[in-house]
Structure 1
Amino acid sequence: MQQLILPALLASLWTTCTGAGDWCYQSQFTCDHQCNVPDLWSHANSDCAGKKQSPINVVTRKTLKDERLTPFQFDNYQQIFRGTITNNGHSVQVGVPHLSTITGGGLPTTYKAVQFHLHWGNNGGPGSEHTIDGEQYPMEMHIVHMKHHYTDLKTAMSDPEGVAVLGFFYETSSSANRKYDPIINALRSIKTTNGDTSLLPVSLAQLIPPEQNLTSYYRYKGSLTTPGCTEAVIWTLFENPIPLSMEQLRVFSELKFHDGKPMVGTFRPVQPLNGRQVFRSGAPAILVSSALLVATIATALGLSQPI
């Protein structure tokens, strides 16, 4: 009888501690704070069990080059704005004036920026949501856009292609990225959940690589990476990472979840592709072709011969 009681008791405790209530990241879960960790997000929203979920691991050798994936046109990305940065309990988010738009890049229409937010690890450790050939970067930024004719994100998400998200990876740099000073300095004022503060003037362009370095990217169709996991997103993942110093990356880990625990590990694990194809832009091949063309011309003209 005692042999039966112990397993039953352990099973009961396991059931009690396997998640209930709201969704959370794995780093938030304790028996004192029961919540639905990523593997159980479908309990919070059934769409999280869909077949086109994000993020994913991009296996570069399995990507297909798509000549339609031309360079983007970034309009009003240089515009300076005064935004509000918020600790929403799961990430930090900044609202963006809808004047900044993207076209080209194989998108079906013009999309206008709505907000950007970030996902990170623990004190500069692995923390990006998407991975490239299994590599997880320290952090990832998502600039969320919606089709230009929609007035709110909720309506846009009812359209299978209503949302376009630009994903940017970060890498550790030996020196601080001063373009990020407005963001990093503001984080110290919003350590607790629902805290918000005004940003010093900033532009989207200063936060991302120069436009000429944004021609190499991956494309696939997926979902939001938090509940409700709506499958209405055209994803673009840029190859060139953004540099931040380790000190700058660590400031993000000083933020707090609503229960006061450090806000770390704010990423959803990669999801199955389920037969989806990931495409890559044709830019690298164009660049190689241009280089070969120049070399051929130089050789023909005898410019490659030593003087």
Structure 2
Amino acid sequence: MSERSTWDEVEGTWSHATEKNKREDTSDWAKRFPAAKGIHQSPINLNSRDTTFDPKLNENPLVANYVLCRETDIYNNGHTVVIYPRYKPGDSGFRPDSTPRSTMEGGPLPSNDVYELAECRFHWGREEARGSEHTVNYKAFPMEVQLIHWNSSQYDSVDEALGQPNGIMIAALFVQVGRENSGLKILTDHLEEIQYKGRMKTVATAFNPNSLLPDPMLRDFWTYNGSLTVPPCSENVTWILFRYPLTISHAQIEEFRRLRTHAKNEMPHNSEDGIMADNYRPTQSLNKRVIRASFQ
């Protein structure tokens, strides 16, 4: 199976919701995960007034060199759905240098550094007025997709890169409801099979992460320095948020809303109703950080 990151191992020790399904005071996370009280936390609100156009972001264009995956693992970890691309059937642990890999480089990333795609995660709401972790001028989207990359030029694994300078990059896409997204059918067609926490499905259907990108040219995006949005909330994360959203159908997002936060035959934790939704962290203070934009 594909290499996993350490934050999969802290599942079950934190939650997005409390009694009566109210939003959790996520400042409680800092009691167990000290990085959560840092000053460079994510997500944030992308306010037009706080955004600076930086033409240098286009001098070395952002490029995604994504490859076709013959098999893909999809996993319900009790908090979200995770896609683990398999670059070669049977691959596990550290990949051989000859293994094709999906990477991204350029834009705000350090020159000559390549970031390898490790996994994709999703955050969504019970209703379409909320769900994304980041907001744009205080407006939320129904869903946000996060493509998590690690710097394979400077580090040997996701775990080694976590929390380190230039270690992690997350490319995020907002999602709106409209037409069916054919690129996500590989996921939504199998969500019923991973309805409960701990379930995994290996899908033997070709998947290209390019299908999650809004524009092959990747020209319009915001970028800032932040953190993971889930425990351990490690900082030193470069965020790239694409301006134009993906579109999925109402039926597709409803498949996400049928997922459960608990294992089959187990009770939900802390009086939750067990529905996996509203799995987003509230926006955090900008704290004088600069949000740069590649567009005017």
**Which interval holds the TM-score relative to the shorter structure?**
0.7 to 0.9
Describe the shift of the 1:36–1:125 C-alpha distance in structure 2 as closer, same or farther (beyond 3 A). Answer: closer
Give the equivalent residue in structure 1 for 2:73: 84
2:259 aligned with 1:277 = no
Report the CA distance between 1:227 and its aligned residue.
0.8
User: Corresponding residue for 2:93?
Assistant: none
Matches within 5 A, 1:42-121: 42-70=30-58, 71-75=61-65, 77-96=66-85, 97=87, 99-108=101-110, 109-121=113-125
Q: TM-score, normalised by structure 1?
A: 0.79
In 1, Cα distance between equivalents of 2:170 and 2:250 = 26
The TM-score with structure 2 as length reference comes to 0.82
CA RMSD of superposed structures (Å): 2.0
Cα distance per residue 1:98-145 (max 9 Å; x no partner) = 701111112102111111111110154410000010010000011011
- Give 1:255-294 correspondences, 5 Å limit: 255-258=259-262, 259-260=267-268, 261-281=274-294, 284-285=295-296
More helix by percentage: 1
Instruction: Tell me the equivalent position of 1:206.
Output: 211
Amino acid at match of 1:66: D
1:187 equivalent in alignment to 2:191: yes
Per the alignment, residue 16 of structure 2 pairs with: 25
> 1:289 matched to which residue of 2?
none
**Do the aligned partners of 1:123 and 1:250 also contact (CA within 8 Å) in 2?**
no
Once the two structures are superposed, what CA deviation does each residue of 1:132-184 show, in whole Å capped at 9, x if it has no partner? 100100000110111113232121014121001100000111x3222221110
| Aligned twin of 1:294 | none
**1:229 to partner: Cα distance:** 0.5
Whichever of the two has the greater Rg, that structure is 1
Deviates more, 1:251-260 or 1:219-228: 251-260
Q: Offset at 1:78?
A: 4.2
- Stretches of structure 2 lacking an aligned partner (at least 5 in a row): 1-11, 88-99, 269-273
How many residue pairs are counted as aligned between the two chains?
Answer: 256
Q: What is the DSSP-based 3-state SS (H/G/I as helix, E as strand, rest coil) of the residue aligned with 1:93?
A: strand
Partners of 2:257 and 2:216 lie apart in 1 by: 29
C-alpha distance in 1, partners of 2:72/2:181?
20
Do structure 1's residue 225 and structure 2's residue 229 form an aligned pair? yes
The aligned counterpart of 2:156 is: 151
Q: Shift in Å at residue 210 of structure 1?
A: 2.8
- Assess if the C-alpha contact under 8 Å between 1:124 and 1:250 holds in 2: no
Residue in structure 1 matched with residue 238 of structure 2 by the alignment? 234
C-alpha distance in 2 between matches for 1:80 and 1:206: 12
Mapped partners of 1:36, 1:122: distance in 2: 15
Q: Name the structure 2 match of 1:129.
A: 133
**1: CA distance between counterparts of 2:157 and 2:32?**
23
What letter matches 1:82 in structure 2? Answer: E
SS of match in other structure, 1:193 = coil
Percent identity of paired positions between Structure 1 and Structure 2: 30
Deviation at 1:209, TM superposition (A): 1.6
